[in-house]
C-alpha cells in the first residue's frame, strides 16, 4: 500500500520523550498481538494487525487515530482490498452499473405485456415498413422494365421518388438510379416501327419490328440531365460523390445518339441506308436522286452535330472537366465524326433543286473550306485523344494506331 509521507520528519535525536515512549508502546502491543493471534486463521491475523510503522506518519497525533487508517485510498473510495479494482475510467469517474444505464421507458417497454412503447421503437417500426415498401417498388420497377411495360415502370419510379424515410427522400445518385430515370423518359413514348421488306433485306438483324425513340423522349432525357447538372454541381465538398462530372458524359451520349438516330431515319426514308440491288443500279436517275437525298441528310446531320462539339469545347476550357479522361475521349471521337462529315462534302455533287443557302457548299470555295474544316477537326480530335490517353482513358487499338501514325508525321 502506498502511503504519502509527511512533508517534514524530524530526525530521531530531536524526538521528545513522549514520542519515544509512544513508539515503544506500539512495538510492545504489536508483539503481544502477534503472539495472541498465532493460533488463529491467517485472514483474521491480517485484518486485526495494526498498521506497520512505515504506514503511520511519525507525529504525536497518531496515538489517538482509530484502528482503521482513514487516509487509505481504498477506505476513502469505499472499496475493499479483497476485491479487484473496477475497470476504467475508475477512479476518475464513478463506477457505472447496468441498472443506471436502463431508463424507466425501456423497463416499461420490456415488460410482458409492455406498459409503454417508446418513440424510438415506433420510428424504427415505421422506417422498417417504409424500407419494405421501397424494396417492393424497386422489384416492381425492374420487373416492368424487363417486360417492356414502360408506363407502369414510370409510375413505380414516380412512387419511389416521392417516398420518404425519416424525412429524407430517395437519393437518385445512389446505386445508378439516375440512369434509370433517363431510360424511362426516353422509352416512355417509344414507337414500334415496322421496317419495309426491301429495306430490311440484307440486314444483320432478324426482326422486322424495331422500337425507336421519339424526339420528345430524347428532349426530355436531355432536360433531365440538365436539371441534375444544376442540382448536383461539381464542388470541392462533393468531389467524391456523383456530381456533374458524371452527368455530362451521359448527356453528350444521349445527344449524339439522338443526332445519329435522326440521320439514320432520314437515310432509311430516302431508301439509301442499304445498297440497292443490281437491277436498280441500272437506272441512273434513281441513283442520282438517292445520292442527292443522302447528301442532304448528311449535311443536316453535320449541322445538328456542330452544337455538340461547341458545347463540349466550352466545357473543356475550365477545370475539372479539362482533365476528365471520359470527356476528352468523347470529344476526340466527336471530332473524328465531324471530320468524316466534312470530308463527305468535299467530293459530293450538289443538285439544282437544293436550297440556295447551301449552294456555296458545292462550289470550289465551299469544297476547299470543307477540306480545311475536316483537317482542323481531325487535328483537334487527335489532340483530345492524346490528352485522354495521358489522363488514363482506355483507348481502342485502332485509335492508338492513328495516334502513332500522327506522331510519326513530322
Q: What is the pLDDT of residues 160-184, one digit of tens each?
A: 998 887 777 888 888 888 999 999 9
Q: Compute the distance between CA of residue 155 and CA of residue 159 in angstroms, rounded to an integer.
A: 6
Closest CA to 261 of 293, 225, 214: 214
Reported as a single tens digit per residue, the pLDDT across 259-315 is 999 988 888 887 744 544 445 545 555 555 556 777 788 888 999 999 999 999 999
Q: Tell if the pTM clears 0.95, that is, is over it.
A: no
* Lowest-pLDDT range of 198-202, 208-212, 389-393: 198-202
Q: Compute the distance between CA of residue 388 and CA of residue 409 in angstroms, rounded to an integer.
A: 20
Q: Compute the distance between CA of residue 377 and CA of residue 405 in angstroms, rounded to an integer.
A: 17
378 to 80, 208, 229, 326, 385: CA distances (angstroms): 89, 38, 29, 18, 10
Most confident of 39-48, 71-80, 97-106, 207-216: 71-80
Cis peptide before 113 (omega within 30 of 0): yes
Q: What is the pLDDT of residue 344?
A: 77
Show the cell assigned to 388. 485522354
Q: Compute the distance between CA of residue 125 and CA of residue 119 in angstroms, rounded to an integer.
A: 10
Amino acid at each position: 500500500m502506498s502511503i504519502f509521507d509527511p512533508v517534514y520528519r524530524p530526525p530521531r535525536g530531536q524526538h521528545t520523550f513522549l514520542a519515544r515512549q509512544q513508539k515503544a508502546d506500539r512495538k510492545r502491543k504489536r508483539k503481544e498481538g502477534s503472539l495472541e493471534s498465532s493460533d488463529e486463521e491467517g485472514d483474521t491475523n491480517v485484518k486485526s494487525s495494526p498498521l506497520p510503522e512505515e504506514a503511520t506518519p511519525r507525529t504525536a497525533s497518531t496515538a489517538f487515530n482509530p484502528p482503521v487508517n482513514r487516509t487509505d485510498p481504498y477506505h476513502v473510495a469505499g472499496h475493499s482490498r479483497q476485491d479487484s479494482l473496477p475497470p476504467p475510467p475508475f477512479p476518475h469517474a464513478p463506477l457505472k452499473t447496468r441498472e443506471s444505464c436502463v431508463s424507466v421507458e425501456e423497463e416499461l417497454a420490456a415488460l410482458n405485456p409492455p406498459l409503454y412503447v417508446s418513440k424510438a421503437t415506433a420510428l424504427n417500426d415505421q422506417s422498417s415498413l417504409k424500407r419494405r415498401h421501397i424494396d417492393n417498388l424497386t422489384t416492381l420497377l425492374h420487373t416492368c422494365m424487363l417486360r417492356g411495360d414502360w408506363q407502369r415502370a414510370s409510375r413505380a419510379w414516380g412512387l419511389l421518388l416521392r417516398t420518404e424515410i425519416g424525412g429524407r427522400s430517395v437519393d437518385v445518385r445512389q446505386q445508378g438510379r439516375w440512369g434509370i430515370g433517363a431510360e424511362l423518359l426516353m422509352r416512355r413514348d417509344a414507337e414500334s416501327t415496322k421496317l419495309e421488306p426491301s429495306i430490311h433485306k440484307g440486314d444483320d438483324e432478324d426482326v422486322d419490328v424495331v422500337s425507336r425513340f421519339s424526339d420528345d423522349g430524347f428532349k426530355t432525357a436531355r432536360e433531365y440531365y440538365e436539371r441534375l447538372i444544376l442540382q448536383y454541381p461539381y464542388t470541392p465538398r462533393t468531389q467524391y460523390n456523383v456530381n456533374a462530372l458524371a452527368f455530362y458524359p451521359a448527356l453528350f451520349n444521349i445527344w449524339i445518339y439522338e443526332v445519329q438516330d435522326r440521320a439514320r431515319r432520314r437515310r432509311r426514308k430516302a431508301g439509301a441506308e442499304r445498297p440497292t440491288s443490281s437491277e436498280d443500279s441500272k437506272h441512273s436517275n434513281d441513283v442520282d436522286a438517292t445520292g442527292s437525298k443522302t447528301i442532304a441528310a448528311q449535311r443536316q446531320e453535320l449541322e445538328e452535330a456542330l452544337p455538340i462539339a461547341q458545347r463540349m469545347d466550352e466545357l473543356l476550357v475550365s477545370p475539372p472537366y479539362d482533365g476528365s479522361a471520359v470527356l476528352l475521349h468523347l470529344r476526340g471521337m466527336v471530332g473524328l465524326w465531324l471530320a468524316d462529315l466534312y470530308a463527305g462534302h468535299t467530293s459530293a455533287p450538289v443538285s439544282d433543286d437544293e436550297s440556295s443557302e447551301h449552294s456555296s457548299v458545292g462550289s470550289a470555295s465551299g469544297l476547299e473550306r470543307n477540306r480545311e474544316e475536316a483537317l482542323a477537326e481531325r487535328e483537334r480530335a487527335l489532340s483530345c485523344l492524346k490528352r485522354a490517353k495521358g489522363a488514363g482513358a482506355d483507348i481502342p487499338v485502332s485509335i492508338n494506331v492513328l495516334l502513332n501514325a500522327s506522331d510519326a508525321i513530322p
